[in-house]
Amino acid sequence: MQNDKNKPPQHHNPNQKKIITKNSSDKKDKQNLPAENIEKQTGNDKETDAFPDYISTATLQQAIDEAGKQTDSPATETDETADNKIKIGITIGDINGIGAEVILKTLSDNRMLDYCTPIVYGSSRVLSYHRKVLKIDEFTYHISTGIDRIKPHVCNVINCWNDETIITIGRPNPDVGVFTLKALEQAVNDLQEGKIDALVTAPVNKYILSTANRKFIGHTEYITNRFGVKESLMLLVSDELKVGLVTNHLPVKDVAAAINPDLIWQKLQIMHQCLSKDFGIARPKIAVLSLNPHAGDNGLIGTEEEQIIMPVIEKAKQQNLLVFGPFAADGFFGTHLQKQFDAVLAMYHDQGLIPFKALSFGLGVNYTAGLPVVRTSPDHGTAYDIAGKNIASEESFRKSVFLAIDIVRNRRNYQEMYANPLRSAELKQLAGIDLSKDEEIRED
């Protein structure tokens, strides 16, 4: 299982191999090798399944050359595909977790280049080191100094830092937070300027990243703030289920106080528009979960359902939206009632993510709805416990890339449809039809 362990462990893992600095004169002081400043152990060039203790700069450069046959020349003006292909930005995430592995496995399939031009924000040396550890042979990429120098028909890697980089695969290191943030900031800058069409973020350690930016509590909140959007919606997407959250990364003790009619209404509006615009569902049907057990049991176990949630649902119905509930979460998922809806709105994080991951773990995508841009990420964390072992599944990350591509296309189609006055009038007429009275929700 790919877990996200936030805080660094207190005890050293004796099985963890370290990269050792070239300038260390005493072996006992050799640890945490910077990728730019490493040397090769004399007389031991053989690769093994374990992490290499250390590796020379020359060997690392050779690994880069073997992996890529890369150049740093700008894309030619005659190549029309460079402008037409969807550009997907990808942040490298925590360099000691499985982010680099799932990126490499996803992009080593050249068929991905038929759908998009991938641009990885991070470090080519870090990526190449992971490639060597994982023994991934077939991976060609182009090293670029910026988004204006990328090339089509190949994976691009933008070096976001040139500092010495500490690599301790499988072990969290607070020192890498600044590098993770540099990659994220540069990618979001390019996203804001329209130089990439969508952003896929590899997993980060929120605790470590907060050491570089104290305000950071998650990708969703960070990107929402960067774009000046008042509210966004964390939407988990899979073939089985779509679940949105009213509250995101919030302690359970604070959830009840945070929930109010205005917040639920905003989240509900974002979800409805997202399903229509980003997923092409003309008349989305949405289920709203309760906050309390048994949906409050007529006020016996809480009054939030009657006083806060129900008025919002009634307001939605008055506007001809297909919104139903509130449903008690246990019975709702226990009877597979989610199959009758296009999406489910949960009140808090674990209420939505526990059933989602039970049904779709490793196959889901985290999508930030309600933004003027497209951002997705896999549904797992850094998974230090399996990092560097070549056993992490890239399926969720691959689906994150494909979903980003689909949403970019769907938004373009949506804009084209509503740009046509006749088609726009037809869609608005259909949207005004009240189908809620004909809807019958049955339990399996």
The residue extents of the domains of the chain are 83-229+371-431, 231-369
User: Which of 374, 360, 340 is closest to 196 using CA atoms?
Assistant: 374
Domains 83-229+371-431 and 231-369 share a fold: yes
Q: 83-229+371-431: what fold?
A: Isopropylmalate Dehydrogenase (3.40.718)
Handedness of CA 115, 117, 123, 125 (dihedral sign): positive
Residue 61 has pLDDT above 70, yes or no: no
Secondary structure letter of residue 89 according to DSSP: E
Please give the C-alpha separations between residue 389 and each of 11, 95, 96, 279, in angstroms, as whole numbers.
21, 14, 12, 36
Quickly state the pLDDT bin for 434 (edges 50, 70, 90).
Answer: low
List, for residues 162-172, the tens digit of each pLDDT value: 888 889 999 99
180 dihedral zone (left: phi>0; alpha: psi -120 to 50; beta): alpha
Classify domain 231-369 by CATH number: 3.40.718.10
Contacts of 231 (CB under 8 A, 6+ apart): 224, 263, 266, 267, 270, 370
Q: Which pLDDT does position 15 carry in this prediction?
A: 36
Burial class (CB in 10 A: 0-12, 13-18, 19+), 218: middle
Q: Please give the average per-residue pLDDT across 253-277, as a whole number.
A: 97
- Say if CB 51 and CB 41 are below 8 A apart: no
Helix, strand, coil shares of the chain as percentages rounded to 5? 40, 15, 45
- pTM reported for the whole predicted model: 0.77
Quickly state the pLDDT bin for 433 (edges 50, 70, 90).
Answer: low
- Asked if the peptide bond before residue 326 counts as cis, ω within 30 degrees of 0, the response is yes
Residue 302 has pLDDT above 50, yes or no: yes
Secondary structure letter of residue 328 according to DSSP: P
Q: Which pLDDT does position 83 carry in this prediction?
A: 59
Q: Which pLDDT does position 430 carry in this prediction?
A: 58
Quickly state the pLDDT bin for 344 (edges 50, 70, 90).
Answer: very high
Residue 133 has pLDDT above 80, yes or no: yes
Mean pLDDT of the chain: 81
Q: Which pLDDT does position 217 carry in this prediction?
A: 80
Q: Please give the average per-residue pLDDT across 100-106, as a whole number.
A: 97
Contacts of 209 (CB under 8 A, 6+ apart): 94, 177, 180, 181, 216
Q: Which pLDDT does position 422 carry in this prediction?
A: 65
Q: Which pLDDT does position 426 carry in this prediction?
A: 61
Give the containing element (helix H, strand E) for 243: strand 242-245
